[in-house]
Chains A and B, each alone.
Chain A
Amino acid sequence: MKANCWYGKEDVRVMDVPDPKILNPRDAIVKITSSAICGSDLHLYDGYIPSMMAGDILGHEFMGEVVETGSFVRNLKVGDRVVVPFTIACGSCFSCERQLWSLCENSNPNAWMAEKLWGHSPSGLFGYSHLVGGYAGGQAQYARVPFADVGPLKIPDGLEDEQVLFLSDILPTGYMAAEQCNIQPGDTVAVWGCGPVGLFAIQSAYLLGAERVIGIDRVPERLRLAREKLNAITIDYEEANVYDSLMDLTAGRGPDSCIDAVGMEAHMPGLLYAYDRVKQALMMETGRPIALREAIMACRNGGTVSIPGVYGGLLDKMPIGAVMNRSLTIRTGQTHMHRYMRPLLERIQKGEIDPTFLITHRLPLEEAPNAYRTFRDKQDECIKVVLKPHGGASLNGNGYRNGASGNGSGH
């Protein structure tokens, strides 16, 4: 089969690789009909996540059709259409019983590695380094799905791939980011980053009853989408001082909740950015927590800072004094996928959420290397790339749009 493999910093290649096999009785093999590139894949692309190995198959947002099941998988049958959650969970350990699915104690075969870096191990993830299991990912024509009796969500007829694909990660991730804010009537929620997770966080914050949601970014088309499609107030951080703008909007009190949907590779104008960039390049910190620092400083007294953005290891100059003295709550984690997939599917079926609005690029799998670059560099107004590993059969008439063609018309 064909698969998009990691070979180093800014080096991903579509290669011919062996088809996946059932390795455990609770595995299934899925023929992938749609697969997306996630913003967090860019941290791998840029070489900031340790323990990647040349040849690793990337991708953790995918869906498709069950083609084979292990002997213990009874709830799925060949031909079922499923969305696969990016976190792998057994369903029977201490964490899974508490709905903390991304902390499954039985799905990371390399738990000892994660324990060295993080003290304890989270669950295994698809295509996201050997620290979290080294599982082959879903930017491929087929994938092996462990604990297939627990994770994959069956999709009823009548829904297009694109309507449900993002249940694999970014929609639940944006939703959990907003849910963690414990939004009350009248609340103002500020969201750093208007990429796909940030946009879904904005949408979810409104769904959960926020009075006002503020989106912060610098990419014009993303700010436009947040403003026009989702009704957010927007701040372009290259045009305006974020802290001052937020204080202006909240009479100096600060947003009730702040969401960092940026993570470890934040940008900002000025010296502090250069400082973090240099330290990160020298491996003296593994992330540039610029958005996170700003979110903490801006958040109102007693408010909540929710972090769906990915961080890998150590950060520098965290304003923990602000967190302590101002009674802030920090909530974060890889998304506890299995908690959210079914309720969000229901919202999609009811028409409360249409997640397709952020797709800008539909490409064959072979285009993945170009698509990574286009997405990373935010060229061609790229917001979300959907890859079609077996051709575009289930596309709803939009056809492919080549990332290199640069027609810039948006979706």
Chain B
Amino acid sequence: MPTVSADNLCKTFHVADKQPGMLGTLRHFAKRSYRKIEAVKDVSFSIEPGEVVGFLGPNGAGKTTTLKMLTGLIHPTSGSVEVLGQVPFKRRPDLLRQMTLVMGQKQQMIWDLPPIESLRVNAAVYGIPEDEAKRRIDELAEMLTVSDEMTRPVRKLSLGERMKCELMAALIHHPKVLFLDEPTLGLDVNAQTAVRSFLREYNRKHGASILLTSHYMADITALCDRVVMIHKGGLIYDGSLAGVVDRFAPFREVKLELCNDADEATMARYAEVESIDGRVVRLLVNRDGLTATVNRLLSEQEVTDLTVTDPPIEEVIGRVFDDGDSSGAGES
């Protein structure tokens, strides 16, 4: 039985539309016009126990709205959602005790008190006895290397330290299902690495299911074997991370080192030129014609070195979202 299952989830918002300028302001005051925004359209997927799934999409794609529906914060316009066999927006305490949502841009820590106080509050509301709460706080703080920051006011902590404390607050009750909305947003490289390691360890230790959104592909590649991609509110891919390249990148990257400086017009005759740096050329070659193109290059150009690789996953995903290409939709 899946831990999380979303079936044809849709969410439509009615948003006030205001035109700029004084006239627009007066019109907005006298008679507001609204337009419908379909933030999420027929999204269906499920997550199995212990699975870590990356949830990818550009800004405004509907990721956060989907997460809000999965956690029960907002009601779907249509469709159904279940988490651990329950409907989340009924907000039953036994479900709330088993899931959590971390929002990288929002904090639940009490700003003027040390993190330990907010953690005590969370421990209390989840019914964790004080000695057990202390043990968990010590353990989490050690894993996230913030033991020394527990008694400093939250407002005095760095962004990375605050984010780690947010994670502690969200995980102190050992939830089975984690919804993480950009948990590494704004963190430096070291802090990002620490958070990733922590999440990997938490998943291993507690067998938790994790749905993770992030704009940092390193988060996804480090933690997720499977990704779900959403674009303009609709699901365009659900499958393995490696499968993204096969699905959306019907080309491979051919890196050439020539004897002499390369000429772009000449190279463009073989394939799309990705970059030229002196004698080093990168071409994007269609998979179907890869052998023929490489043969032509070797026979017609003075090549000293040649390598064929898949393009970087970041680039593939970036292209999908930049192009608005949803040609892979329906194959998920």
A and B physically associate: no
Residues of B bordering A, CB below 8 Å: none
Tell me the A residues contacting B by CB distance below 8 Å. none
